[in-house]
Amino acid sequence: MSERLEDIAAAMVAKGKGILAADESSGTIKKRFDSINAESTEQNRRDYRQMLFASRAAMRRNISGVILFDETIRQMGSNGKPLVDLITAAGSIPGIKVDAGAKEMAGHPGEKVTEGLDGLRERLQEYYKLGARFAKWRAVIDIADGLPTWGCVKANAHALARYAALCQENGIVPIVEPEVVMDGPVAAHDADRCYEVTEWVLNTVFAELFEARVMLEGMVLKPNMVIAGKNAKNQAKPDEVAEKTVRCLKSTVPASVPGIAFLSGGQSDVEATEHLSLMNAMGPLPWNLTFSYGRALQAAALKSWSGKPGNIAKAQKAFAHRARMNGLAARGKWSKTEEKKKAA
Ligand code: 5MM
């Protein structure tokens, strides 16, 4: 595979394919395992993720890349070979989460800034040797009364841009993920407020990317959709989410960005698929629109697996179905009828 940043980015958002976000940090994967009463041991985490990456047909057809956590990129599978090999054998690209998490922002009550720039150049060089060809950094922006503040938006956008420039310097495609969250502590905002904040955040991020001299052709944007907060009384209908999201992205994201891979952010798996499909059906669009889902790709598989080795085949089937549905959505071709055809 080509090592040019533009070619890697194009492969990550190739038509009908999207990204599996399997980069849950230790705290998050423990929460996910708690929900199925499984213990979060190193072996269980390995077995679960191996189950996903070994879903050969789903990976080959619909998963262009996988975002890994530090533990996973170094982990061996049950055959003693690196888990990364399972990903590359399926023609998919290994990626790595390199941020150190969103931490309380000093002087900004209720807001967070993502850390992890110190020593990032050296870490990227090591991850490259371990096989990573793209990376991910997530900024978290909460909406509440008087929030977000300019200080928070600016600091997070600046960090994203410095991260992206360092990635490109080291031959790694940056996924730039500024998430305006739909399930934050308040989350009572409507879709119009989400639109306003997302537009502000994306404009700020692209101004910072320009100043940091990031090559837009060699990056992928991972934004939220324009959607109401989970506690809002007025929930936007699927058509409205699709229309507002595309309008917001068209007014903020340059056409030189090859692709936009959404996060699911707390939407149900079917909602996340439907929204993506509606947006793609609105084409033509200046960039490829696809998925980089964590929860919305894994929820059904996680439940089917439930920590039991005997459930692996069933869980892989659930994963393959979800990956196929999102593959269809990335082409604007998902339908309720397809959804009902559970993996045969
Ligand atoms: C898979 O979840 C990722 C890791 O989250 P933590 O760092 O909190 O453990 C997360 O960054 C993910 O890549 C994105 O937020 C998208 O995931 P969802 O579940 O929102 O699609």
Q: In whole angstroms, what separates CA 32 from the centre of its chain?
A: 17
Which residues are near ligand 1 (CB < 6 Å)? 21, 23-25, 28, 67, 138, 179, 263-265, 293-296
- Name which of 286, 171, 186 is nearest 231 in CA terms: 186
Q: In this structure, which residue's CA is closest to atom 17 in ligand 1?
A: 294
- At position 330, the amino acid (one-letter code) is A
Which residues, other chains included, contact 146 with Cβ-Cβ below 8 Å and sequence gap of 6+?
Answer: none
Which residues, other chains included, contact 344 with Cβ-Cβ below 8 Å and sequence gap of 6+?
Answer: none
pLDDT at 287: 98
Active-site position among 177, 179, 208, 274: 177
pLDDT at 341: 87
Tens-place pLDDT, residues 256-301: 999 999 999 999 999 999 999 999 999 899 999 999 999 999 999 9
Give Cα separations from 108 to 60, 182, 183, 194, 221 (angstroms): 44, 20, 19, 20, 26
**Collapsed DSSP state (helix, strand, coil) of residue 295:** helix
Tens-place pLDDT, residues 4-28: 999 999 999 999 999 999 999 999 9
pLDDT at 158: 99
Q: DSSP string covering 146-206, please?
A: TBS-HHHHHHHHHHHHHHHHHHHHTT-EEEEEEEE-SSSSS----HHHHHHHHHHHHHHHH
Which domains, and CATH codes, for the chain?
5-340 (3.20.20.70)
Can the peptide bond before residue 94 be classed as cis, meaning omega within 30 degrees of 0?
Answer: no
> By the 8 A CB rule, do 99 and 136 touch?
yes
Question: What are residue 19's DSSP bridge partners?
Answer: 65, 292
Active-site position among 97, 222, 244, 317: 222
**Collapsed DSSP state (helix, strand, coil) of residue 292:** strand
Q: Which residues of the chain have pLDDT under 50?
A: 343-344
- Active site (annotated) includes residue 222: yes
pLDDT at 283: 86
> By the 8 A CB rule, do 19 and 66 touch?
yes
Q: Which of 12, 31, 97 to mutate to test the pocket of ligand 1 (most atoms within 8 A of CB)?
A: 97
pLDDT at 51: 98
pLDDT at 343: 47
